[in-house]
Amino acid sequence: MASPPPQDAAAAHPLTTYLQRLIAEKHSNLCVSADITCATSMLSLADAVGPSIVVFKTHADILAGWDSHPTTGTGAQLAALARKHRFLIFEDRKFADIGSTCQLQYVGGLHQIVTWAHIVNAHILPGKDMLRALGESAAAWEALNVPAGGNEDEAPSRRGLLLLAQMSSAGNFLDETYTSHCVAIAREQRDFVMGYIAQRPLNSLPGDAFVTMTPGCSIPPQESLDDSEFVPGEEDALGQQYNTPRDIMLRGCDVIIVGRGICNAKDPQMKAEQYRKLAWEAYVEKREK
């Protein structure tokens, strides 16, 4: 029997392709995670670090003062900043309920995530029908938001999902078998799944073109270059474990995710530039090897 034709890079999700382009053009592998609790400050942070990043990660449910107006509210303002600075918005919602409930969490409530977040993420614990459910909601949104076309610099009018394949926290239960289930499911649902949150790349077959975004990243205190009050070390007091931007890039990951190391710095804009540069240098080094 003839084997199926090998899948090439064309199998990449459109948002993955766009993200790779942003990485190359902005010389950045940086995702800033807005782990702050005020909606206005979150928008200011996005504007300040926008030139240095390719992805901006949010936790909408920790923000006080969220304005849900569809065209002038917080989500719409963040989407405008994403267009201005050219970055993707990733709502770190970690969906983990039955399909029907996840659909409501994705499109409804105060945040109406699907309307402003290019990317969301999900655990596979409830089973893969839940991903199909989220994918259907994404497709319904896409059908109503067909791009006018013409502007190649804009993000494609698509929605994508990252599977939570590995976590950075000590003692987590996402073992190798669990991770391999994520990989199998990602390959089945390429229309919607664009990649992983993981500690190392998980692509191993020719057709795999999934992006890897990696949290648990900090610059060692001795390299920090300023006197910020919060400089993460190798771990925090609550189980978070850190690796350096360089280590993560040399493993072959695509994007580092940095929260408090940047948000809690005295000058987040300057600190984001420091992370961007360190990660980009290691990324280039890895590619030239």
Please give the Cα distance from 78 to 166 (Å, whole number): 28
Which of 261, 272, 278, 283 binds ligand 5IU (CB under 6 A)? It is 261
Pick between residue 34 and residue 141 the one whose CB is nearest to ligand 5IU: 34
Pick between residue 117 and residue 257 the one whose CB is nearest to ligand 5IU: 257
| Using rule CB under 6 A, residue 91 touches ligand 5IU | no
Q: Is 224 annotated as a binding residue?
A: no
| Using rule CB under 6 A, residue 211 touches ligand 5IU | no
Residue 92 a catalytic site member:
yes
| Using rule CB under 6 A, residue 160 touches ligand 5IU | no
Pick between residue 75 and residue 215 the one whose CB is nearest to ligand 5IU: 215
Residues 6+ apart with CB under 8 A from 15: 88, 118, 119, 155, 156, 158, 159, 160, 194
| Using rule CB under 6 A, residue 197 touches ligand 5IU | yes
Please give the Cα distance from 263 to 267 (Å, whole number): 8
Q: Is 57 annotated as a binding residue?
A: yes
Q: Is 266 annotated as a binding residue?
A: no
In 209-239, which positions are buried (b, 16+ CB within 10 angstroms) versus exposed (e)?
bbbbbbbbbbbeeeebeeebeebbeeebeee
Please give the Cα distance from 90 to 146 (Å, whole number): 20
Q: 193 phi and psi, to 5 degrees?
A: -80, 120
Residues annotated in the binding site for substrate, as ranges?
Answer: 35, 57, 168, 240, 259-260
Where is the binding site, in residues? 35, 57, 168, 240, 259-260
Contact residues for ligand 5IU, defined by CB under 6 A:
33, 35, 92, 164, 167-169, 197, 215-216, 240, 257-261
